[in-house]
């Protein structure tokens, strides 16, 4: 081995060790190693940064924007509400989560799918009192399983797809069969079916019953808010029970104000009417969720409901002792004129406020939930009017009237991705379809430009882009060919199936230590060399890389969605190993067996 091979090998081992500690961001570490290879002259700047202009990386970025449009319009809730319903047991909840998540993750990148489902699952846990620890890990695992069914289901598949395309462009005399949208499906769908069956059979026994619960307690701060039933609202003409307002988690419907009467003891069979003003008392998070319910508009001055404005944010502001608002009612304080904000809800420590919100006389220490422009916190965080000003995540309300537009864009995306063709135009690459879909989400106002930019997971894109450069360094230094020759010599006599299993297991091992995309990029040149040395087609090995790099469930580090649910689910490392370890083994057996059967590889 020459010095370049030694440097690349040593750097990759150090990278694995650094990432295994969990102390450093994957994107930072990989870019640092890439910079070292550039300085050492092992790869050229063109090769190092080629991945950042790769069509697969751009496709992932555009799919994040599509997911943002679905989330900002509330289309995600429309698509999942019928499936989730109100399960009575953890088993029912897990089944209702797994089916839509697997289906949606097969046609959209699984990372934004999990991001969109997390608030839905959190609300489901609060509403049904099913422990969050029983729901969040199945959410992540179902997304991973669904992502292995199609090309666009996960960024890992797109990384392998892009590496094949890049290889074919650079070596026209050694062409590899490219992935299609459904290339993974014959093996990926059985993996997903077996995986779902495992989760439903063993989820209640192996998952923790506690942890991560968001259920409100008696000590939770109680806000008072008013919502108006808008004209043409889907809840008008329905009873409190039918409208889903009877058992809201952490919320209590205190009264209904009408022009002719006030209903204080609200019965479940009370029929809602247009223009009814519903007054609720409850926890902050529940009040925020209420603002996003379709058909109900927040009443900011007891007379005029505000309409959706995509730039508006929800802000918590605590009134100070010297505030000019002290001693004035909310209506007379002219908060909208003075501060450019509207009062959505109000909280007073130790008191349940009664009467109309506009008649509440403000005191020092009262906490207001405001709807204001994004710059509100910066302008007033040092103001004498407020002790504390903090912005809550997300827009104030979803744009419900655009939900069907977002759903139409999603289905058009799926159709074009499946066929790859458009009448009168012809073939369309995946990146073009994803780009047009992302542009449609912004053009049709399903999300704004700032929301689209904020919805993109930039660290994920950096990891994908850097992984191409690291793979190229292994190739140009000769390390990939050396490792492939060693594997072929050591295990070649065991047969094609054994070589495939070795590639899968080594990829899985890399995934345990580093990100799945990096593992796929590192294994690609090695697996290509193994297939060439053994005289075997590369497609089953490419699929083994895609499956092995994604189907790792026994650590939170193996896949980013596992890290995303670790906190909300209240999980420890041991929880992933206990529940995900057997699933990792099951997925490996089904994947290797399925690939051998499909491509006729014997032992």
Domain assignments of the chain as residue spans, ordered by start: 3-211+457-599, 223-399
Is the dihedral angle over the CA atoms 109, 112, 118, 123 positive or is it negative? negative
For residue 218, what pLDDT is reported? 44
For residue 558, what pLDDT is reported? 67
**CA-wise closest residue to 345 among 294, 275, 276, 284:** 284
Q: Tell me the mean pLDDT in the region 252-257.
A: 83
β-bridge pairing 341-347 and 296-298: unpaired
Q: Tell me the mean pLDDT in the region 159-181.
A: 84
For residue 139, what pLDDT is reported? 93
DSSP 271: B
Strand-pairing partners, residue 255, are: 279
Q: How many CA atoms lie within 13 A of 543 on its CB side?
A: 30
Q: Tell me the mean pLDDT in the region 518-533.
A: 84
> Cβ distance 442 to 453 under 8 Å?
no
Tokens at 318, concatenated: 């605590």
For residue 583, what pLDDT is reported? 96
Q: How many CA atoms lie within 13 A of 12 on its CB side?
A: 24
For residue 113, what pLDDT is reported? 76
Q: How far apart are the first and last CA of the chain?
A: 32
For residue 516, what pLDDT is reported? 78
pLDDT digits (tens, 9 = 90+) for 225-246: 888 888 888 888 888 888 878 7
Q: Tell me the mean pLDDT in the region 312-338.
A: 87
Classified as helix, coil or strand, 254 is strand
Strand-pairing partners, residue 298, are: 227
pLDDT digits (tens, 9 = 90+) for 493-511: 678 898 899 999 988 887 7
Is residue 600 scored above 70 in pLDDT? yes
Our measurement of the distance from residue 59's CA atom to the centroid of its chain's CA atoms, rounded to an integer in Å, reads 16
**CA-wise closest residue to 295 among 305, 304, 286, 285:** 305
**Rounded Cα distance, 530 and 481, in Å:** 8
Q: Tell me the mean pLDDT in the region 115-127.
A: 76
Is residue 38 scored above 60 in pLDDT? yes
pLDDT digits (tens, 9 = 90+) for 367-407: 888 888 878 888 888 888 888 888 876 555 677 778 889 88
For residue 421, what pLDDT is reported? 61
**CA-wise closest residue to 189 among 112, 109, 103:** 103
At 548, the pLDDT band (50, 70, 90 cuts) reads very high
Task: Give percent above pLDDT 90 in the chain.
Answer: 17
For residue 304, what pLDDT is reported? 47
Is residue 210 scored above 60 in pLDDT? no
For residue 396, what pLDDT is reported? 56
Our measurement of the distance from residue 93's CA atom to the centroid of its chain's CA atoms, rounded to an integer in Å, reads 19
**Rounded Cα distance, 97 and 120, in Å:** 10
Strand-pairing partners, residue 427, are: 421
At 177, the pLDDT band (50, 70, 90 cuts) reads confident
**Rounded Cα distance, 88 and 390, in Å:** 36
CATH class of residue range 223-399: alpha beta
Is residue 542 scored above 90 in pLDDT? yes
At 424, the pLDDT band (50, 70, 90 cuts) reads very low
Q: Tell me the mean pLDDT in the region 87-105.
A: 88
Buried b / exposed e across 414-439, counting CB within 10 Å, b at 16+? bebbeeeeeeeeeebebbbbbbbbbe
Average pLDDT over the chain reads: 81
For residue 56, what pLDDT is reported? 67
**Rounded Cα distance, 286 and 392, in Å:** 13
Q: How many CA atoms lie within 13 A of 287 on its CB side?
A: 28
- C-alpha torsion 361→365→366→370, nearest 10: 120
Segment among 43-47, 306-310, 421-425 with least mean pLDDT: 306-310
> Cβ distance 240 to 246 under 8 Å?
yes
**CA-wise closest residue to 129 among 80, 98, 77, 88:** 88
252 vs 219, higher pLDDT: 252
Q: Count of residues for the chain? A: 603
pLDDT digits (tens, 9 = 90+) for 338-376: 888 888 888 887 676 776 778 888 999 888 888 888 788
For residue 124, what pLDDT is reported? 80
**Rounded Cα distance, 515 and 20, in Å:** 10
Tokens at 29, concatenated: 């570490």
> Which residue is it, tokens 């809602």?
272
Alpha helices in 73-135 (DSSP H): 75-84, 90-105, 110-128
505's CB contacts (< 8 A; 6+ apart) are: 548, 588
**Rounded Cα distance, 405 and 209, in Å:** 39
Q: Tell me the mean pLDDT in the region 27-36.
A: 88
For residue 233, what pLDDT is reported? 84
């Amino acid at each position: 081995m020459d010095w370049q091979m030694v440097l690349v090998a040593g750097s990759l081992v150090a990278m694995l060790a650094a990432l295994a500690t969990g102390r450093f961001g994957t994107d930072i570490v990989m870019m640092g190693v890439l910079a070292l290879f550039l300085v050492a002259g092992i790869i050229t700047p063109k090769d190092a940064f080629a991945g950042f202009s790769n069509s697969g990386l751009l496709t992932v970025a555009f799919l994040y924007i599509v997911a943002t449009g679905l989330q900002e319009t509330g289309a995600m809730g429309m698509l999942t509400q019928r499936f989730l319903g109100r399960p009575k047991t953890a088993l029912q909840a897990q089944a209702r989560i797994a089916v839509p998540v697997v289906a949606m993750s097969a046609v959209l990148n699984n990372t934004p799918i999990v991001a969109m489902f997390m608030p839905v699952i959190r609300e489901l846990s609060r509403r049904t009192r099913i422990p969050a620890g029983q729901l969040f890990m199945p959410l992540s695992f179902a997304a991973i399983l669904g992502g292995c069914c199609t090309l666009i289901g996960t960024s890992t598949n797109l990384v392998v797809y892009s590496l094949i395309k890049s290889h074919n462009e650079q070596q026209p005399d050694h062409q590899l069969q490219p992935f299609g949208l459904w290339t993974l499906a014959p093996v990926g769908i059985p993996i997903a079916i077996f995986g779902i069956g495992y989760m439903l059979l063993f989820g209640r026994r192996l998952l923790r019953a506690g942890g991560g619960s968001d259920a409100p307690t008696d000590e939770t701060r109680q806000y008072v808010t008013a919502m108006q039933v808008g004209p043409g609202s889907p809840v008008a003409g329905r009873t409190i029970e039918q409208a889903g307002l009877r058992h809201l988690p952490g919320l209590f419907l205190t009264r209904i104000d009408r022009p002719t009467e006030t209903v204080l003891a609200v019965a479940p069979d009370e029929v809602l009417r247009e223009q009814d003003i519903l007054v609720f008392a409850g926890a902050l998070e529940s009040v925020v969720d209420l603002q996003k319910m379709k058909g109900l508009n927040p009443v900011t001055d007891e007379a005029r409901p505000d309409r959706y404005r995509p730039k508006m944010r929800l802000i918590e502001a605590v009134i100070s002792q010297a505030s000019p608002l002290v001693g004035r009612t909310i209506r007379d304080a002219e908060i909208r004129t003075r501060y450019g904000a509207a009062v959505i809800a109000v909280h007073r420590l130790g008191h349940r406020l009664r009467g109309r919100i506009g008649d509440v006389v403000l005191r020092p220490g009262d906490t207001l939930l405001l709807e204001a422009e994004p710059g509100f916190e910066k302008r007033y965080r040092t103001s004498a009017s407020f002790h504390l000003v903090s912005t809550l995540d997300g827009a104030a309300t979803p744009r419900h009237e655009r939900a069907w537009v977002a759903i139409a864009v999603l289905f058009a995306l799926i159709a074009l991705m499946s066929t790859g063709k458009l009448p009168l135009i012809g073939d369309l690459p995946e990146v073009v379809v994803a780009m047009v879909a992302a542009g449609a989400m912004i053009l049709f106002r399903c999300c704004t430009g700032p929301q689209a930019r904020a919805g993109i997971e930039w660290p994920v894109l950096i990891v994908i882009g850097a992984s191409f450069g690291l793979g190229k360094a292994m190739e140009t230094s000769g390390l990939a060919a050396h490792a492939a020759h060693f594997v072929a010599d050591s295990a070649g006599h065991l047969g094609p199936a054994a070589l495939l299993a070795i590639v899968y297991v080594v990829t899985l091992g890399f995934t345990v230590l580093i990100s799945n995309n990096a593992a796929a990029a590192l294994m690609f040149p090695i697996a290509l060399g193994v297939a060439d040395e053994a005289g075997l087609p590369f497609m089953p090995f490419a699929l083994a890389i895609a499956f092995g790099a994604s189907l790792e469930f026994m650590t939170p580090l193996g896949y980013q969605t596992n890290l995303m649910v670790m906190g909300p689910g209240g999980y420890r490392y041991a929880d992933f190993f206990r529940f995900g370890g057997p699933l990792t083994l099951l997925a490996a057996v089904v994947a290797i067996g399925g690939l051998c059967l499909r491509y006729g590889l014997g032992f």
